[in-house]
Structure 1
Amino acid sequence: MAILAVKDISGIAEPLPGFYVTRSNGVEGEKTLSVAGYKTEINQHGYKLVKNENILIYKDEEYVIKTHKEKTFKNGVGVEVTALHRIFDDLINYRVYEEKSGTLRINAMLDFALKGTGYTYEVDNTDLPTSVEVQNFGWDNSLALLRSIL
């Protein structure tokens, strides 16, 4: 069984024993977590950190909490959250404020879309055209540009 932990902006991390995790892949490749759990004596320190924009760590991958809903039950209080994989959150929040037009290689488009994000890529060129014609490629977030390349 994989361990779930939560980390706040200052880097403090705590385990979340007793929480239930469902990992999903979206239509466009987005990876999300749905997490639910009750506050207990064992997880009370981690429970306090389960807030929007804090990080869930599951199977060595980071997910940013985007929705947070506290609930009251007979047995006490609980929480349900959804979290988006860190790469999708990072790329949607990074904007490219320029554009390119013309005939570009896939690698040049990826370099342009991911410049400054800290992310790298590897391309399998099998069955791909050498280059493609693009118009007004840019002026968007890096995730939208990456999806456009795909």
Structure 2
Amino acid sequence: MEISVILGDITKIKADAIVNAANTSLLGGGGVDGAIHRAGGKAILDDCVKIRNKQGGCAVGEAVITGAGELPAQYVIHAVGPVWKNGRSQEPELLQRAYSRCLDLAATHGIQVIAFPCISTGIYRFPKKEAAIIAVNTVRQHAYKPARVIFVCFDQESYAIYQALLGVQ
């Protein structure tokens, strides 16, 4: 399994699946969630509405999969990370579970190239370094090993953290 990090826009990544840092409603929002919904078009929202109508959204620490609409990927995996509450509400465990559920879905759908954003580190305020450690450790320790995992960072600070964790420059 190859693990890499890039600084860029996840909506431009060519992968079997990209991961969306979604909210529990699955109906789009700000940050990466809004960007994915805008770039992918109405098909993604339509798929999310079907899931929501069937199961009532997506719980924190869980993930669901949809088509990717107009994105250069086959799938979007919508993962709901936790809002940071000073680490007193199982946030690390919930974030680890969200990454793990993404990999479970990747295994089920035969996904070999998956791109992750920095889940929960934007408006959900999860500390960036702690979140990156959880992300990298979860990918390394998960039973499913896709051919390639790409961590896509939107800001320089996150990019530097992942470079250090992965030992790349």
State whether TM-score is above 0.5. Answer: no
TM class by shorter chain equals under 0.3
Query: Greater helix percent: which structure?
Result: 2
TM-score by structure 2 length?
0.24
Q: Structure with the greater relative contact order (CA < 8 A, sep ≥ 6): 1 or 2?
A: 2
State the structure with more CA Rg: 1
